[in-house]
Amino acid sequence: MALDRTDHPLNSLGFAKPPSQTRVVVAMSGGVDSSVVAAELAQEGYDVVGVTLQLYDHGAALAKKGACCAGRDIHDARRVAETMGFPHYVLDYENTFRESVIDEFADSYLAGATPVPCIRCNERVKFRDLLETAKDLDADCMATGHYIQRFDGPNGPELHSAADPARDQSYFLFSTTPQQLSYLRFPLGHLASKADTRALAARHGLPVADKPDSQDICFVPNGNYASVIEKLRPGAAEPGEIVHADGRVLGTHSGVIHYTIGQRRGLGIGGLEEPLYVVKLDVDARRVIVGPKDMLSARTVPVREINWLGDAPFTSRAEWHVAVKVRSTRPPREAVIRPLSDTEAEVELLVAEEGISPGQACVFYDTESTRIFGGGWIWKGR
């Protein structure tokens, strides 16, 4: 058993005091993952405080079953707290969420990017504002239901991929800073599968044990980005031309917001011999540029707003040999990072990837371990 200088055994969250004297705020979404975290910690005897964020209007959310921020989920989180006997609070973060996440999502989408709002939500809402609230509540740490691991390394806390590759959420957490990491705990990261999580929920008798996972972005019903953008930015869906990369006008469209880089289906330009893909969105000219599949391939990826989690300073080397993910659904691929400043770099992929889009994240992984070295945002075309 690990001991610190005062000979108190470290508890499971890494503190040299009994669980009963260790306050932990659990960020509860209402889903099975965060519910299990809260239940397990409560059973271990920790001073658990559950907090759920109301991120946008409840009335609209109630019609969206399965979204992480819906009114039903707030109700489910409260029921779990009642079952396990710890306090639960709902905090109104609607304005913060709109300003920090939704507005940028709309603007970047209108600019032709493919944004990942869940990363911004973790970065700007959960791990910034909620984390500060946890400190205001005199909590020793904040725990979440994310599938990722945190280890204490020789130079401080390290971020590592989850034990279950199918559930790993490292792509969405690359912007976690060292300071945030020192305060955060991820109790589910070591589990072998989601089945293990559900088994724990059933063992605790939690009402969410069989609740389905949410698949969509919480404020984007059924994955229909365009309909949300049209509500947020009326008049955004202006018609324009669908143009081949060689200059031929092939048809018209009802708005650039209906298209994404790499899209093949639903282009509305049937009858052509070669399969065509969206290779570029020219927002200013309201043009959707299409071309053959090989035009989607790229090896050079410009990245900015880099959050570096390595031990040595980012600019201490001319090159870093790592693996990178350019989309959440793709495996890490070998690459070379060439720093341009503390927060900008050029990433060269050893093998070209297709459909790399501005607005997506580029996350850095150690090639010899499960460690994550941070990442940044892809910010312009090839």
Residues designated catalytic: 121, 218
The CA distances from residue 212 to 143, 215, 364, in Å, are 21, 9, 30
Helix orientation angle between 32-43 and 194-203, rounded to the nearest 10 degrees = 50
Identify the bridge partners of residue 101 per DSSP, sorted by sequence position: none
Round to whole Å and give the CA distance between 298 and 360.
14
**Placement of tokens 């990722």 in the chain:** 148
Q: Residue 274 in contact with residue 320, Cβ under 8 Å?
A: no
Report the chain's terminal Cα–Cα distance, integer Å: 52
Helix orientation angle between 103-110 and 225-232, rounded to the nearest 10 degrees = 110
Task: Kindly tell me the sign of the dihedral angle through the C-alpha atoms of 38, 192, 334, 331.
Answer: negative
Name 62's Cβ contacts closer than 8 Å, sequence gap at least 6. 70, 71, 72
- Residue 3 is given by DSSP the state B
Token pair of 225 as six digits: 């980005």
Write the DSSP string, 131-162: HHHHHHTT-SEEE---SEEEEEETTEEEEEE-
Identify the bridge partners of residue 278 per DSSP, sorted by sequence position: 290
Round to whole Å and give the CA distance between 193 and 167.
7
Task: Kindly tell me the sign of the dihedral angle through the C-alpha atoms of 252, 255, 256, 262.
Answer: negative
